Amino acid sequence: MKEVKVFSPASIANLSCGYDVLGVCLDNIGDVIIVRKTKEKGVFIKKITGQNLSTDISKNVAGVSATALLKNTNVDCGFEIEIHKGIKPGSGIGSSAASSAGSVYAINKLIGEPYTRNQLIKFAMEGEMTASGSRHADNVAAVLLGGFTFVRNSIKHDYFKLNSPIEMAFAVIHPKIELKTKDSRAVVKNNVTISDMVSQSANLGAFVSGLYTENYELIGRSMKDIIVEPMRSILIPKFNEIKSACLGEGALGCGISGSGPSIFALCKGVSKANNVAKKMKEIYDKLDLEYDVHISCVNDVGVKVL
């Protein structure tokens, strides 16, 4: 095989109660990445469409993660990468994760798959480091493993996949402002009280239990973030109003998607997600603020060959 084309999906990190821990893979929005073997050794970014991004392999996350993989591998060729961006950088639905994970997944295919999807996470995380200044694996784990995912320890590379109840559907609204993950992480203070720690860990445990018992009501009432959301939500236009409207329309839960500015609502069923998305749109229409809306089920497969 000399060339491979992959679809690398968007993802939602945190899911309110699992900052840097929980992630979920979305199914109908993502980047398309083509990787070809070259005689010349090294990594080359040949072409980028859809967004104006650097082709410098030390600045582009796809180049950084590919380089991290190749440092770990003995191969007698190089790789050129074409990136067709379907996800806007700074949107909060895992743009850098899709490019980072997509490039390492494609290269792994071309070299005979010496790594499992789980083992590729550590290379993709190097792209996240370049994009945000921190090695969080919640988005890349979701893209590479598919479904709902859990990062137990990103330094020890301990990640796994969770159960996905079949009727889960997401409504996501992206107000067209760019919020860099680095900036959104900078507003998160380091101190947490014991009582907040107790509430947040209770919600995280209950959320995971809800996924396995397919208890939608438990999942919904566990989707609370009393620590990070209050600090970040001030950066997102009409966050509280949108959240109240989504919950009023019957969403199970609603919160900031990753580091924002996208807002997601988790719903039981696609038709509920469509109704919730209508409520989200009405609020931004009143503000005359441009936005994108996505409706997605859980993508249980993750990044895949096209």
Catalytic residue numbers?
Answer: 128, 181
Cα dihedral across residues 48, 54, 56, 62: positive or negative: negative
Single out the segment in contact with ligand HSE by CB under 6 A; choices: 81-89, 131-139, 196-204, 235-243. 131-139
Residue 189 beta carbon to ligand HSE: minimum distance, rounded to whole angstroms: 13
Binding-site size for ligand HSE (CB under 6 A) equals 12
Phi-psi region of 262 (alpha: psi -120 to 50; beta: other; left: phi over 0): beta
In degrees, to the nearest 5, what angle opens at C-alpha 298 toward C-alphas 99 and 129? 30
**What is the Cβ-side half-sphere exposure of residue 127, based on CA atoms within 13 angstroms?**
30
Q: If binding is defined by CB under 6 A, does position 37 make contact with ligand HSE?
A: no
Residue pair 148/133 in contact (Cβ under 8 Å)? The answer is: no
Residue 272 beta carbon to ligand HSE: minimum distance, rounded to whole angstroms: 25
Q: Of 20 and 27, which has the nearer Cβ to ligand HSE?
A: 20
CB count within 10 Å of CB 214 equals 14
Residue from the set 7, 8, 14, 298 that interacts with ligand HSE by CB under 6 A:
14
Residue 60 beta carbon to ligand HSE: minimum distance, rounded to whole angstroms: 17
User: Can you tell me which residue has the tokens 């990468």?
Assistant: 81
Instruction: Give the phi and the psi of residue 27 in degrees, each rounded to 5.
Output: -115, -15
Please confirm whether the linkage preceding 261 is cis (ω < 30° from 0). Answer: yes
Q: Of 78 and 89, which has the nearer Cβ to ligand HSE?
A: 89
Single out the segment in contact with ligand HSE by CB under 6 A; choices: 11-19, 38-46, 156-164, 193-201. 11-19
Q: If binding is defined by CB under 6 A, does position 185 make contact with ligand HSE?
A: yes
Q: If binding is defined by CB under 6 A, does position 20 make contact with ligand HSE?
A: yes
Residue 249 beta carbon to ligand HSE: minimum distance, rounded to whole angstroms: 25
Pair of tokens at residue 291: 């936005």
Beta-ladder partners of 171? 265, 295
Residue 290 beta carbon to ligand HSE: minimum distance, rounded to whole angstroms: 21
Q: What is the DSSP letter of 141?
A: H
Residues 43, 254: Cα–Cα separation, whole Å: 40
Q: Of 108 and 181, which has the nearer Cβ to ligand HSE?
A: 181
Considering only residues 137 to 166 of the shown chain, the ones binding ligand HSE according to CB under 6 A are: 138-139
Residue 150 beta carbon to ligand HSE: minimum distance, rounded to whole angstroms: 13
Q: What is the DSSP letter of 238?
A: T
Single out the segment in contact with ligand HSE by CB under 6 A; choices: 111-119, 177-185, 210-218, 296-304. 177-185
Residue pair 62/99 in contact (Cβ under 8 Å)? The answer is: yes
Residue from the set 136, 161, 272, 279 that interacts with ligand HSE by CB under 6 A:
136
Single out the segment in contact with ligand HSE by CB under 6 A; choices: 132-140, 198-206, 244-252, 269-277. 132-140
Residue from the set 67, 181, 200, 296 that interacts with ligand HSE by CB under 6 A:
181
Q: If binding is defined by CB under 6 A, does position 258 make contact with ligand HSE?
A: yes
Strands 78-84, 42-49: pairing is parallel
Residues 277, 212: Cα–Cα separation, whole Å: 26
The contact set with ligand HSE (CB under 6 A) reads: 13-14, 19-20, 136, 138-139, 181, 184-185, 258-259
